[in-house]
Amino acid sequence: MSQFFMNEKGDLVNEAIEGVLLSTPWHNLSRLDLGDDIRVVVRNDWDKSKVALISGGGSGHEPAHAGFVGKGMLTAAVCGDIFASPSVDAVLSAIINVTGEAGCLLIVKNYTGDRLNFGLAAEKAKNLGYKVALVMVQDDIALPENPQPRGIAGTALIHKIAGYAAEQGEPLEQVQALAQRAIEATATIGLAFATCHVPGEARDERVKPGQSELGMGIHGEPGVTTLETQNSREIVAIMTEKLAKTLPEQKKALLLVN
């Protein structure tokens, strides 16, 4: 029995994007007409004299990524299949369609497929004469020994901070520098009571009733430890202690609760 409210699995991503376009209250979003397999949501009120911001990744993480397209945030979102990175061609199509002389910044989450495909698209775009920069979000602190920290919820803050700079007309170098500074100052820790799963596939039942997993990845990747509790006060105390260690002394912090 399905746990998903959907029509057909094969149409799920395209229909979800169609729903976003129809429901936006400002009627400021469009999808590039490049076929069913290239899914790029763009601002249709975009001013190419400003730096464009492009992000994206696998679908199934709503409201990311199409939900962050709009004034003061992303110019375009490139949507892959569920939990699968968009293709190089899809990212390149986004760059070509929204980038003017001011250039574009790619905001990429630190996953192998995203790094590879966005990186290759950036190089192809540069060879075509486009001005492209890239930043890599890696805000996950749950696995302290991980040489490749994952990009997770903090990515939304990077969209917002870089988006503000771009909206003010800052040059690409400044927008990239501000985004990188924000990335280095962002720390995220996650927790889940159960794994997520792809429609039509069985859920991994490794988290038992009454337990929670600290640091589970957004695709269900294993976290750092299993906690024998689902008590909110106990869990928040553990997470807050770990996050507090990343804060500079006497500095204010912005808290995002997702």
Question: Taking 70 as the threshold, does the pLDDT of residue 208 lie above it?
Answer: yes
The residue ranges of every structural domain in the chain are: 9-184, 191-244
The mean pLDDT of the chain is 95
CA distance to 58, 78, 210, 222, per residue, from 84 (Å): 4, 11, 31, 18
What pLDDT, on a 0 to 100 scale, did the predictor assign at position 174?
Answer: 98
CA 138 – CA 149 distance, rounded (Å):
5
Give me the DSSP letters along 104-160: EEEEEES-HHHHHHHHHHHHHHHHTT--EEEEEE--B-SSTT-SSPPP-TTHHHHHH
Question: Taking 90 as the threshold, does the pLDDT of residue 21 lie above it?
Answer: yes
Q: What is the pLDDT of residues 100-146, one digit of tens each?
A: 999 999 999 999 999 999 999 999 999 999 999 999 999 999 998 88
Domain at 9-184, CATH from 3.30.565.10, 3.10.180.10, 2.120.10.30, 3.40.50.10440: 3.40.50.10440
Calculate what percentage of the chain has a pLDDT beyond 90: 86
Q: What is the pLDDT of residues 218-253, one digit of tens each?
A: 999 999 999 999 999 999 999 999 999 998 888 889
Give me the DSSP letters along 169-229: T--HHHHHHHHHHHHHT--B--EESS----TTSPPP--S-TT-EEET--TT----SEEES-
- Catalytic residue annotation: 219
